[in-house]
Amino acid sequence: MSEPADAAHRRAIAPVICYPTETLPRLPDAQAARAREAWQKVDEVVVPPREAASFKVQAGQAFRISSVDGPQVGDLNLWNLTNFSERFYSGKTRALHGTHVTTGDRLWSSFPALRPMATILADSLDWYGMDGFGGSVHDVIGTRCDPYTHNLLAGGQYHHCCHSNLTRAFADATGASLAEAEHHVHDVLNVFMCTGFTRDTGQYFMKASPVRPGDHLDFLAEIDLLGALSACPGGDCSAEHSSDSAACYPLLVEVFETALTPDWLTPPLNGYDRSHGR
Ligand SMILES: [Zn+2]
């Protein structure tokens, strides 16, 4: 189509932030500080390469995801431990906090709860910022590698995509069948993954993660959580995923009591009355 006469004018209109965050509830600084104090480890799980593992965190406890042996990205799912229908809402978290999350950002849950499930307490990769390609770390824009897209684009049957790893981990944690478990797997937080959208075509891209052993992402659990983390078959995602060709390493998840644990108050469900105008 030919451009209208005022095309340049229309393109020149400045954007408006969809969700100004001035009224978005943040974890108060005093609580965030106490959440970083008096850590006592109560559990840990090692996520093997190209596999997933589950873990439980009580509200008011913290959990840390660490790179251990080599650069590795992880795909994280979170559920309310007592109501699996309340789960991490990647899309709304993206709308509220942007394409990538870091210290102070919250992981929001699905409707109708729409409340913070966890808040990021520390991010050892926060120095990375946004690179010249528009890439950054810990995205909520990718969905998860999955065998359906792999089959669509390349054919074949690959069983260690994050989608399948998370499905098996949820089934093992809950006793659900694989068919049931698959419905609970949802869009992820891509821990340590470095991604963005190309500026010219808007395509989703990945590049070698800057993560190194010792890097970690720390969270405060705001409600009782079941988590599952997949050590993506893409390794550091420098080349490809959905295959066994990339170098892959384990990830470590540790759970800690904090100074905040004894008197933590779970955030309330969202205040909308759900009458939908009738
Ligand atoms: Zn993956």
Tens of pLDDT, residues 84-131? 999 999 999 999 999 999 999 999 999 999 999 999 999 999 999 999
Which residue stretches of 3-97 are H helix?
7-11, 29-35, 90-97
Beta strands in 124-249 (DSSP E): 136-139, 189-197, 204-207, 216-221, 225-231
SS3 89: coil
Instruction: Identify the CA nearest to 39 among candidates 219, 185, 257.
Output: 257
Q: Give pLDDT, residue 54.
A: 98
Say whether pLDDT at 189 is over 80.
yes
Q: Give pLDDT, residue 245.
A: 83
Q: Give pLDDT, residue 236.
A: 87
Pairing of the two strands 189-197 and 83-87:
unpaired
Output the CA 267–ligand 1 centroid distance in Å: 31
Output the CA 217–ligand 1 centroid distance in Å: 18
Output the CA 28–ligand 1 centroid distance in Å: 33
Q: Give pLDDT, residue 109.
A: 98
Residue with tokens 């966890």: 118
SS3 92: helix
Determine the Cα–Cα distance for residues 211 and 43; give it in Å rounded to an integer. Answer: 23
Instruction: Identify the CA nearest to 205 among candidates 99, 108, 120.
Output: 99
Say whether pLDDT at 243 is over 80.
no
Output the CA 162–ligand 1 centroid distance in Å: 4
Output the CA 256–ligand 1 centroid distance in Å: 26
Output the CA 202–ligand 1 centroid distance in Å: 21
Output the CA 266–ligand 1 centroid distance in Å: 31
Q: Tokens standing for 255?
A: 């759970």
Determine the Cα–Cα distance for residues 124 and 146; give it in Å rounded to an integer. Answer: 28
Output the CA 229–ligand 1 centroid distance in Å: 10
Output the CA 206–ligand 1 centroid distance in Å: 12
Give me the phi and psi of 28, to 5 degrees please.
Answer: -55, 145
Q: Give pLDDT, residue 20.
A: 83
Output the CA 117–ligand 1 centroid distance in Å: 22
Q: What is the pLDDT of residues 40-87, one digit of tens each?
A: 999 999 999 999 999 999 999 999 999 999 999 999 999 999 999 999
Say whether pLDDT at 213 is over 80.
yes
Output the CA 238–ligand 1 centroid distance in Å: 12
Rg (CA), the chain: 19
Buried b (16+ CB within 10 A) or exposed e, 70-104: ebbbbbbbbbbbeebebbbbbebbbebbbbbbbeb
Read off the pLDDT of each residue in 16-39 and give the average, rounded to a whole number.
92
Output the CA 253–ligand 1 centroid distance in Å: 17
Domain ranges of the chain: 42-211+221-262
Give me the phi and psi of 183, to 5 degrees please.
Answer: -70, -20
Q: Please give the biggest Cα pair distance in the chain.
A: 65
Output the CA 173–ligand 1 centroid distance in Å: 20
